């Protein structure tokens, strides 16, 4: 019997929140975002969701205010660098909210390498991650902590460079900045308090199983087609990341077979064209909602 509630901290609003809700709803939680709701109770796995600021999630989990949380790796790394005696661990990566923490400089400026940052001022919302990076590269620079609009710092001459999250790079381009160095790549991760008890740990394991089933299915496709027996080996070469196909005999046809296969990479029009070039017909490409290993 599940007496204890599994407590999960999520970002209340923003891109990370949108990805969390989409992923969790595919795991049957039926969550809906609301400006006035900070707590959502679900019967699924007897779960409580705390909707809070993303910056607060690592601290919530670390202090045992929640058992687990979903946060960007950038926020997780910043927290553990600032709190070396933490009780946190990364359970799994979740495959969304991809970005990178980068140092960027004015495109027309004189800073062309990491060594050029000596004696300069760098504006950032991630001082611990930046400090750790600079120490590893023996660079001495002043760190200016900002909590928004970091990309404006060089333009208004309060910093020589910035260290900030980059997704597409469009914001950097708009502010005449270019990436000098990528500190690390980031995505959403599920973190947990290392000290959760056995009952909660078993429910975390069940949640991870559900999450992974959805993640594995995200880019996978189920493909059905008819093809000559002699072309099956070529079919496997054409389909990227496919597992061993299921081959079924067609009634009244000794030359052709029906093939069913799961493909773990994207299927695009050029792939379909290649399949048709080896005689494939009646091609169906279907999405997969969940995929259990």
Q: What is the pTM of this model?
A: 0.84
Sign of the torsion angle spanned by Cα atoms 4, 54, 37, 29: negative
Residue 199 resides in a domain: yes
Counting residues of the chain whose pLDDT is more than 70, the rounded percentage is: 96
Q: Is 292 within the bounds of a domain?
A: no
Q: Look up residue 119 and give its two tokens.
A: 């004696």
In a domain, 159, yes or no: yes
- The total domain count for the chain is 3
pLDDT at residue 104 in the model: 98
Distance in angstroms (rounded) separating the CA atoms of residues 48 and 77? 25
Average pLDDT, the chain: 91
Task: Name the more confident of 228 and 241.
Answer: 228
The two tokens of residue 209 are 């199983």
Q: Which residues of 65-83 are buried (b: 16+ CB within 10 A; e: fewer)?
A: bbbbbbbbbbbbbbbbbee
In a domain, 89, yes or no: yes
Which tokens hold the place of 263?
A: 């493909």
Q: Are 121 and 159 in contact (CB under 8 A)?
A: yes
> Residue 286's pLDDT band (boundaries 50, 70, 90)?
confident
Domain containing residue 276 = 220-287
* Strand stretches in 187-272, DSSP E: 188-193, 221-228, 246-250, 253-263
Residue with tokens 């048709």: 276
Give the CATH number of the domain where residue 90 resides: 3.40.190.10
Query: How sure is the predictor about 251, in pLDDT bands with cuts at 50, 70 and 90?
Result: confident
Q: Are residues 90 and 104 in the same domain?
A: no
265 and 277 in a single domain? The answer is yes
């Amino acid at each position: 019997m599940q007496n204890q509630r599994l407590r999960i901290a999520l970002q209340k609003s923003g891109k990370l929140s949108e990805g969390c809700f989409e992923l969790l709803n595919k795991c049957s939680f039926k969550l809906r975002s609301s400006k006035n709701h900070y707590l959502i109770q679900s019967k699924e796995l007897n779960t409580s969701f705390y909707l809070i600021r993303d910056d607060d999630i690592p601290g919530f989990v670390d202090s045992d205010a929640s058992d687990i949380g979903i946060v960007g790796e950038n926020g997780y790394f910043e927290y553990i660098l600032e709190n070396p005696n933490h009780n946190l661990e990364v359970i799994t990566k979740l495959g969304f909210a991809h970005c990178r923490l980068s140092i960027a400089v004015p495109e027309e400026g004189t800073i062309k390498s990491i060594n050029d940052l000596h004696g300069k001022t760098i504006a950032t919302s991630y001082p611990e991650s930046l400090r750790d990076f600079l120490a590893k590269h023996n660079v001495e620079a002043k760190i200016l902590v900002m909590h928004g609009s970091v990309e404006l710092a060089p333009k208004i001459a309060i910093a020589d460079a910035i260290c900030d999250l980059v997704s597409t790079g469009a914001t950097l381009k708009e502010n005449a900045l270019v990436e000098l160095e990528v500190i690390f790549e980031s995505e959403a991760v599920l973190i947990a308090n290392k000290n959760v008890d056995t009952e909660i740990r078993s429910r975390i394991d069940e949640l991870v199983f559900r999450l992974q089933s959805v993640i594995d299915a995200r880019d996978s496709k189920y493909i059905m087609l008819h093809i000559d027996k002699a072309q099956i080996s070529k079919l496997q070469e054409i389909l990227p990341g496919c597992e061993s196909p299921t081959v079924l005999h067609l009634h009244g046809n000794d030359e052709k077979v029906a093939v069913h296969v799961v493909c773990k990479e994207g299927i695009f029009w050029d792939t379909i064209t290649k399949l048709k070039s080896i005689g494939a017909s009646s091609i169906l490409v279907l999405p997969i909602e969940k995929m259990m290993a």
